[in-house]
């Protein structure tokens, strides 16, 4: 295996991600991982490799206690997989041999593993017995099927949710709310879209409590991610408008036939109109019209259970030399 810069081979890397089984593809793709590595993670050194079978996407750092470690580009949530290959068994053999031949690490973290996936099975079989293995806390995502279009999607939702959507839709229409889909194709488009998003964020409870994407590392994370999403035609943004003002947005991306929800928010002054639920609904209508098969709502939160019927669970494997 030879060291590489993931950013320099991002298109080829993403094609390999698309062919990799049993992983969270979007959160393992270059748009997510490179932005997260820069915005959300501590200072580390590149440690990514290409081999005959695929890619090992990782970074190397030194813990304050003094020991060197290897981990995925994104470990803020542990969603990104570092083993990228259509042939996971062959890649794991290459990666284990490479790690065994080096002395510059003491702990290695493999994240984004499904419990019964081929990557985890290959690691269990090929890691040297003398290396200690520890299992990390699982991460759960809620996923909705868009089978059968919007009618099929709604048929799998509760009666209460369908009723609340109809009520919110009538109230929003009477108030004059309209919904605008915006697609960007360039870095300049990404800047314009993000400026609109940030103007909405400024009027939300998230901004007041400092938990949204208006400040700090999370603001930078999406600022770095959006240009790649626009240039690859993956970005999907929907704005709710009242008169000449944006009062809400929902931001996501489509990768390999699956939509990944990223962020949504709305102006607190219009919370009574159910803007959040309507943004979700109108985004799903658009996704169904374009043949998108699944909606990954992201990591676990109570409200997401009402919108999804499936879960995807991944976990970390921590290897101590």
Give the helix, strand, coil percentages of the chain, each rounded to 5.
40, 30, 30
Give dist(CA 299, CA 141) in Å, integer.
4
Give the tens place of pLDDT for each residue, 36-68. 999 999 999 999 999 999 999 999 999 999 999
Q: Pairing state of beta strands 107-113 and 310-320?
A: antiparallel
CATH code, domain carrying 6: 3.40.630
Confidence tier at 310 by pLDDT (50, 70, 90): very high
- 303 belongs to a structural domain: no
Collapsed DSSP state (helix, strand, coil) of residue 268? helix
Residues 251 and 133 in one domain: no
Q: What is the pTM of this model?
A: 0.95
The verdict on 157 and 281 lying in the same domain is yes
Residues 123 and 214 placed together within one structural domain of the fold? no
User: By three-state DSSP, how is residue 239 classified?
Assistant: strand
The answer to the question of residue 304 being in a domain is no
Cα–Cα dist 14/145, whole Å:
23
**Assigned token pair, 104:** 């510059």
Using CB atoms within 10 A of its CB, is residue 10 exposed (0-12), middle (13-18) or buried (19+)? middle
CA-based nearest residue to 266, from 280, 246, 244: 246
Please tell me whether residues 264 and 227 are part of one structural domain. yes
Helix (H, G, I), strand (E, B) or coil at 278: helix
DSSP-assigned states of every residue in 185-229: -SHHHHHHHHHHHHHHHTTSHHHHHT-SSSSHHHHHHHHHHHHHH
| 134 and 184, same domain (yes or no) | no
Strand, helix or coil for residue 280: helix
Digit-coded pLDDT (tens) for 56-110: 999 999 999 999 999 999 999 999 999 999 999 999 999 999 999 999 999 999 9
User: Distance between CA atoms of 311 and 143, rounded to whole angstroms?
Assistant: 5
pLDDT for residue 19: 98
Q: Do 131 and 40 reside in the same domain of the chain?
A: yes
Report pLDDT for 72: 98
Q: What angle do CA 46, 104, 122 make, to 5 degrees?
A: 80
Look up the domain containing 157 and give its range. 147-292
Average pLDDT over residues 205-213: 89
Instruction: Say if residue 210's pLDDT is above 90.
Output: no
Domain annotation covers residue 164: yes
Same domain? For 278 and 166 the reply is yes
| Cβ pair 212, 201 in contact under 8 A | yes
- Shared domain for 237 and 267, answered yes or no, is yes
CATH number (domain holding residue 193)? 3.40.630.30
Residue 302 pLDDT greater than 90, yes or no: no
Number of domains comprising the chain: 2
Domain for residue 301, yes or no?
A: no
Residue 306 lies in a domain: no
167 with 228, same domain: the answer is yes
299 lies in a domain? no
Same domain for 57 and 178?
no
Question: Residue 87: inside a domain, yes or no?
Answer: yes
- Reported confidence tier of residue 240, pLDDT bands at 50, 70, 90: very high
Q: Is there a single domain that holds both residue 70 and residue 13?
A: yes
Question: Does one domain contain both 156 and 272?
Answer: yes
Look at residue 284 and tell me if it is in a domain. yes
pLDDT tens digits, residue range 7-35?
Answer: 999 999 999 999 999 999 999 999 999 99
> The dihedral of CA 224, 296, 12, 100: what is its sign?
positive
């Amino acid at each position: 295996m030879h060291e590489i810069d993931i950013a320099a081979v991002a298109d080829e890397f993403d094609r390999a991600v698309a062919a990799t089984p049993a992983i969270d593809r979007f959160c393992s793709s270059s748009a997510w991982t490179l932005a997260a590595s820069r915005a959300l993670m501590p200072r580390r050194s590149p440690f990514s490799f290409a081999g005959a079978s695929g890619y090992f996407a990782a970074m190397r750092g030194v813990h304050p206690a003094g020991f060197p470690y290897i981990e995925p580009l994104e470990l803020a949530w542990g969603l990104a997989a570092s083993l990228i290959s259509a042939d996971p068994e062959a890649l794991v053999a290459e990666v284990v041999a490479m790690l065994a031949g080096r002395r510059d690490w003491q702990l290695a973290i493999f994240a984004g593993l499904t419990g019964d996936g081929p990557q985890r099975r290959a690691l269990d079989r090929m890691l040297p017995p003398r290396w200690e293995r520890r299992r990390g806390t699982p991460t759960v995502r809620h996923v909705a099927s868009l089978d059968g279009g919007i009618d099929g999607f709604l048929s799998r939702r509760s009666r209460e949710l369908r009723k609340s959507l109809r009520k919110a839709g009538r109230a929003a229409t009477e108030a004059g709310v309209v919904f605008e889909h915006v697609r960007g194709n360039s870095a300049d488009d990404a800047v314009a879209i993000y400026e609109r998003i940030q103007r909405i964020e400024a009027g939300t409870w998230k901004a007041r409590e400092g938990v949204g994407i208006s400040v700090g590392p999370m603001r930078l994370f999406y600022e770095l991610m959006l240009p790649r999403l626009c240039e690859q035609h993956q970005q999907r943004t929907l704005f709710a408008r009242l008169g000449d003002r944006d009062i809400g947005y929902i931001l996501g991306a489509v990768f390999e036939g699956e939509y990944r929800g990223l962020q949504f928010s709305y102006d607190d002054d219009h919370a009574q109109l159910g803007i959040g639920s309507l943004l979700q609904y109108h985004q799903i209508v658009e996704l169904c019209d374009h043949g998108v098969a699944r909606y990954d709502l992201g990591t676990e939160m109570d409200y997401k259970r009402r919108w999804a019927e499936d879960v995807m669970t991944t976990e970390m494997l921590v290897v101590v030399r």
